[in-house]
Amino acid sequence: MMEEQSTAGPMMESIANFGLKVVAAIIILIVGLWVAKKVKALFAAALIKKEVDATLIGFFSSMLYGAIVVFVAIAAIGKLGIETTSFAAVVAAAGLAIGLALQGSLSNFAAGVLLILFKPFKAGNFIKAGGEMGVVVEVGLLMTELKTPDNVKIIMPNSAVMSGSITNLSAHPTRRIDMVVGVGYGDDLNKAKQLMLDLLEADARVLKDPAPQIEVANLGDSSVDFVVRPWVNAADYWGVKFDFTKAVKEKFDAEGISIPYPQQQVHMLQVDAS
């Protein structure tokens, strides 16, 4: 009877101690999760105040919350008397394995963070990047979506977007149209220049400042080439370019100014058979 009492005493004490450890672990979890939520909210508020992109705010806030939760979980497990060193090593090894398996995705993620932070373009811009051209629909953490002028959807990995130069054709409100118009060597150059200038001045979409530039740029094989450089609002770029190309052909035809095409002169030599 005495032996049973002596055995039950330490057992009850062990159960009581373990129960206290469980309660302490639960308290650590509850308090830790509450602290994690508060820190996440404060961190997100600080990023919002700094006007960081909403995509990055959500991602970094979630990453911080997850890191705190992992730390709290390890602390709670340690409170139960379980060795946490090996557990932390397993977590680290798993993280390394996942990182190696997702190298491509991590590269796209890093490029996505840079795109969102430095903002070389935004949704609605017309860009050339990664060998593609189109209007930016969305910039995500892993992919960028473009819509081509013929309404084709293109999904590009962010690493491909960042791998070369990025041309943002919508970065500024105005653009300069660069066109080349050739006239014949026998035509009146001053008249041809004035006709083109009249066409540009008659188009309300062509900006007055900066003024359009029309100059002789090249003496070609079969034509004298003018460069024609009017400034327009970015939205009017293609409309003015197409309309001017049509109008200058019609105007030159009406005024007797030729638009030559490449020609070759072949000289035949007659050889005396005798």
Q: What is the pLDDT of residues 164-221, one digit of tens each?
A: 888 998 889 999 999 999 999 989 999 999 999 999 999 999 999 999 999 999 998 8
pLDDT less than 50: residues of the chain: 1-2, 102
User: Is the domain of 158 the same as that of 182?
Assistant: no
User: Is the domain of 139 the same as that of 225?
Assistant: no
Residue 230 lies in a domain: yes
Residue 218 lies in a domain: yes
The total of structural domains in the chain comes to 3
pLDDT at 193: 95
pLDDT at 102: 47
User: Is the domain of 141 the same as that of 230?
Assistant: no
| Cα(69)–Cα(75) distance, integer angstroms | 10
User: Is the domain of 162 the same as that of 227?
Assistant: no
User: Is the domain of 140 the same as that of 215?
Assistant: no
pLDDT at 2: 47
Q: Which long-range contacts (CB under 8 A, 24 or more apart) does 76-85 make?
A: 76/25, 76/26, 76/28, 76/29, 76/32, 77/25, 79/21, 79/24, 79/25, 79/28, 80/18, 80/21, 80/22, 80/25, 81/18, 81/21
Residue 192 lies in a domain: yes
In which domain, by residue range, is 229 found?
A: 174-255
Those residues with Cβ within 8 angstroms of residue 144's Cβ, 6 or more apart along the chain or in another chain: 112, 115, 129, 136, 138, 155, 156, 158, 161
User: Is the domain of 139 the same as that of 211?
Assistant: no
pLDDT at 12: 66
Instruction: Pick the last residue of a domain from 42, 74, 101.
Output: 101
| Core vs surface per residue 69-105: b (16+ CB within 10 A) or e | beebbbebbbbeeeebeeeeeeeeeeeeeeeeeeeee
pLDDT at 248: 95
User: Is the domain of 50 the same as that of 84?
Assistant: yes
Residue 8 lies in a domain: yes
Vertex 234 angle, CA 232 and 237, to 5°: 65
User: Is the domain of 217 the same as that of 143?
Assistant: no
pLDDT at 203: 93
Residue 37 lies in a domain: yes
pLDDT at 178: 95
User: Is the domain of 237 the same as that of 208?
Assistant: yes
User: Is the domain of 141 the same as that of 54?
Assistant: no
| Cα(72)–Cα(87) distance, integer angstroms | 13
| Cα(40)–Cα(72) distance, integer angstroms | 14
User: Is the domain of 247 the same as that of 189?
Assistant: yes
Contact 228, 196 (CB under 8 A): yes
pLDDT at 98: 54
Residue 273 lies in a domain: no
pLDDT at 253: 93
CATH number at residue 163: 2.30.30.60
Residue 3 phi/psi, 5° resolution? -65, -40
Q: Which residue has the tokens 């101690």?
A: 17
Residue 144 lies in a domain: yes
pLDDT at 163: 84
Those residues with Cβ within 8 angstroms of residue 139's Cβ, 6 or more apart along the chain or in another chain: 55, 112, 115, 116, 121, 122, 123
